[in-house]
Copies of this chain bind each other. A is one copy, B any other.
Amino acid sequence: MTVHPVGDAHPYFPLDLHLPEYVPMQVDFDYILGVFFTAVLVVFAATWWLSGRYSHLTRGERVMSCWFMVTGLIHFVIEGWVVAKADFYKDASGNYLSDTWKEYSKADSRYASRDSFIISMEAVTAFLWGPLCPLLVWGILTAKPWRYALMLVVSVGQIYGDVLYYGTCYLEGFIHSRPEALYFWFYFVIINAIWIVVPFCCVVHAWGKISKAVAAGSGSGRKPKKA
């Protein structure tokens, strides 16, 4: 598909999107992805090491700790940035986070056009789920009694936000994404799908733990009784 920019010279779809003062990315695509995946690996490895000091944790719980630390930092730092910096697409400073969002906006221009759903959902994700994730990691490491309840809250929030993210795109006919496979399939479909698949596993885990604990009678101390 040949792309003919209309009006403002930006790489985003739909092509007639009005984004005056757009400044092209200052850093390279491979630099952005390289830094991102390196940071993810470092945080994952550090949390894995830390969780190894808590010998009561299963391997699955250690992996979940790593997940919540990584996703919490992504929420707070990366998604927090796009909420706070409405004009990231004009940023000429070469700021890593602004350029990351210039790149991701190729998969979803609603970040640049400040779509009201996107900004609302990202605000909750960044500033509520974001800080709750490291809190949950602490809860998992120290076996706090509220850890499964918090896991359920955060994971349901992540799934619901993501379902609405896909749902709104579907209803609008996917007009905000560039058609190339990298943008539509990798960034938009696959990367976002992670926040449905992994939280769903966490919901299943927390649901099972909660049900088992409640079934043990500690939840109410009462038996169902029909008059």
Which residues of A are in contact with B by a Cβ distance under 8 Å?
52-56, 114, 116-117, 119-121, 123-124, 141-143, 145-149, 152-153, 156-157, 160-161, 163-164, 167-172, 203, 206-207, 209-220, 222-227
Q: Is A222 a contact of B116 with CB atoms below 8 Å?
A: no
Interface SS of chain A: helix
Count of this chain's copies in the oligomeric assembly: 2
Instruction: Select one of B163, B169, B218 contacting A216, CB under 8 A.
Output: B218
Q: Is B152 a contact of A227 with CB atoms below 8 Å?
A: no
Q: Is A227 a contact of B145 with CB atoms below 8 Å?
A: no
Taking the nearest CB of chain B, how far is it from the CB of A117, in angstroms?
A: 4
Q: Which residues of B contact A141 (CB under 8 A)?
A: 224
Instruction: Give the nearest-CB partner of A171 in chain B.
Output: B116
List the 3 closest pairs (A to B, CB-CB), nearest first.
A120-B167, A216-B218, A145-B215
Q: Is A219 a contact of B209 with CB atoms below 8 Å?
A: yes
Residue of A117, A157, A225 ringed by the most chain B CB atoms within 10 A: A117
Instruction: Give the nearest-CB partner of A146 in chain B.
Output: B211
A142/B55 contact (C-beta < 8 A), A117-B168, A160-B124, A212-B219 known: no
